[in-house]
Amino acid sequence: MAIELYGLTITVNGSASTTAYYSVSFVSGGEFVQGGATIYPTALGATLVSLYGIELSINAPAGKVSGAATLTTTADVVAGRVFVSPPIDSDTVVTLFGTSAIASVTVKAGEESAAFAWTVSGNGGLAGTAKDFLDNAIQKPA
């Protein structure tokens, strides 16, 4: 498989009542594009975002958090884990996009992690650029 560019979003559905650490990490098949992330917390407070080759980490204040990043792969499957610590009182959803939504995984309220293994072969990558995806993937809070 040739190198393909995909997009990933992370969204807290609801409003977390506590500051939390969110992490999406790959164990195989994917690598984040360096410098390619957009994060929108809705509460005032310190927010730290780290983007490494195989991990997106966000430390955000209580409230709703939405973010997006881009990744590349030559593999047929992108696999990894999502962590939320401490567990929060809202679901956290991570979705993979190519030309459309490919798959998603949910860390349920009160839980700390979820694993994913998404088949990307046969699903085209992003039609535009990484910047196009990051500019349009998530709604900026009002």
What are 16-71's pLDDT values in tens digits? Answer: 999 999 999 999 989 998 667 888 887 777 788 888 889 999 999 888 889 999 99
Note the pTM of the prediction, 2 decimals. Answer: 0.91
Using CA of residue 45, residue 136, residue 56, residue 52, what is the dihedral sign?
negative
The maximal CA–CA distance of the chain, rounded, in angstroms, is: 43
Average pLDDT value for residue range 2-24: 91
pLDDT at 94: 97
